[in-house]
Amino acid sequence: MIRKICCIGAGYVGTPTMAVIALKCPNIKITVVDSNRSRIDAWNSSNTNDFPVKEPGLDDIIKVVRNKNLFFSSDTEKHIDESEMIFLAVNTPTKKEGKGKGFAADLTNIDQCAKQIAIVSSSNKIIVEKSTLPVRTAERLKEIINKHKQDDVSFEIISNPEFLAEGTAIRDLFKSDRVLIGSDQTDEGLAAMESLVNIYKNWIPRERIIKTNIWSSELSKLASNAMLAQRISSINSLSALTEKTEAKINELSVAVGKDHRIGDKFLNVSPGFGGSCFKKDILNLVYICRQYGLEEVAEYWYQVVKINDYQRKRIFNIINSSLVELKNKRISILGWSFKKDTNDTRESSSIPISSDLIINGASLKIYDPLADKKQIIQDLTTYLESKNLDLKEIKSLLNQVKINNTLSECLSNSNAIIVLTEWDEFKQIDWQNFKLNIVDAVLPHIFDTRNILDIELLKSLEYKVFQIGNGDSNIK
């Protein structure tokens, strides 16, 4: 029976997962550790607004379990040594240099964790891979651990990938479609797997707990994300065709989704998928396929990323063409996080689209209910740096950006309004009243890249509107 758990990584995966385990397993003491002391301090704050991850329902759970059986600490070594089970929930970004640059997962954080665990552990441990990892990573971890561990200490490595969707992570943890656990098929490996099964079965029905070998588990996470992203790119690619043929992508999505073999999930048109996982995991999958000489398979999956980039560029080109001249145009950006109900901005389509707008001379006003202002500026800076612009040029471009505290502030006095995140708040805009308050009587062009606005109402109010994949748009 596991009594003490340590989770390395206090981010979007580690904290929600540990919070729910703490709630459902009050007899287990769980400590979440992180090398980022300010992040730990934020989780220990009495003000929930300071919490670094915004996720519906998470605050309420932390209020119940924090300092009872869930703790946050920066004393990593102490809690590694005291624990019986260690979850690895650290970031594994795409490599920026060296072999596999631009495709392979950077396992530096995972490698450092493995070495640290091996060195400081004075008792046997079960290590749980929670981060998204390339298939065969467990083999790599074993090599690192065996090199640095004490002779009388043994380790078992099991894979337990997360399948959480940001914005619904707590709901997903409470009612998971499945919990996947992979292990070595040895007596020791199977026993380690059962230790984790016994934790999850406190609230997950046994039939939803899937047990596999460790390699199947590692690869399943990459495969799941790749296939979800594929659906998004598929519907986005068709949106370009529906615009040309005067069909409607929303109607197409409903018609296709009614086929039970296909289903209606992930068929909502968008400016492209974002978040920390989809692009990273597909690129990793492409790299792995190439490593095994599967060039055709690699190219198939790479097309999913290419379509995503195409959709973003296509949207920018439509905006640019519609406004004729972007220089000195005032544009309202509605939404920065990659999806609603989260403050996560990683790989958000707002970043490249907004960056291209300011590079071409537009001035932006940005509003998002949850995204941190500093993070928005950092996102723009990082993207502009990737375009090989120097610091002076970047600073000049950032002077064209203002981040607003309210939606009404952001909407005022604009030549164009672009909806980039599907926040419910944006659906409630009173466009009739907004029209009456426009001083110069020139209505802004509206670009709805999430298809959440009532296009017929907007057209009746004489707005020029573009919706992705909607043949009825009066902006072509």
Q: What is the pLDDT of residues 45-58, one digit of tens each?
A: 999 999 999 999 99
The overall longest dimension of the chain from CA atoms, in Å, is 79
pLDDT tens column, 240-290: 999 999 999 999 999 999 999 999 999 999 999 999 899 999 999 999 999
Confidence of residue 440 (pLDDT cuts 50, 70, 90): low
Q: Which two tokens stand for residue 77?
A: 């070594």
Q: Model-level pTM?
A: 0.93
What is the Cα–Cα distance from 331 to 162, expressed in whole angstroms? 38
Please confirm, yes or no, whether 7 is among the known catalytic residues: no
Q: Is 421 helix (H, G, I), strand (E, B) or coil?
A: coil
Return the CATH class of domain 4-204.
alpha beta
Asked if residues 362 and 322 have their Cβ atoms less than 8 Å apart, the reply is no
417: pLDDT strictly greater than 70: yes
Contact status, residue 306 vs residue 341, Cβ threshold 8 Å:
no
**pLDDT band for position 374 (cuts 50, 70, 90):** very high
Q: Is the pLDDT of residue 44 over 70?
A: yes
The arithmetic mean of pLDDT across residues 360-370, rounded, is 97
Q: What tens digit of pLDDT does each residue of 309-361 get?
A: 999 999 999 999 999 899 999 999 999 999 999 999 999 999 999 999 999 99
How buried is residue 146: exposed, middle or buried, by Cβ count under 10 Å (0-12/13-18/19+)? exposed
**Residue 61: pLDDT band with limits 50, 70, 90:** very high
Which of 7, 277, 289, 410 is catalytic? The answer is 277
The 10s digit of each residue's pLDDT in 140-190 is 999 999 999 999 999 999 999 999 998 999 999 999 999 999 999 999 999
Strand intervals (E) in 324-397: 330-334, 363-367
Model confidence over 102-152: pLDDT tens digits?
Answer: 999 999 999 999 999 999 999 999 999 998 888 899 999 999 999 999 999
Topology (CATH level 3) of domain 242-467: Rossmann fold (3.40.50)
Domain layout of the chain by residue ranges: 4-204, 242-467
Collapsing DSSP states into helix, strand and coil, what is residue 401? Answer: strand
Question: Does the structure show a pLDDT above 90 at 215?
Answer: yes
The residue that leads in pLDDT, 328 or 441, is 328
In three-state secondary structure terms, 128 is strand
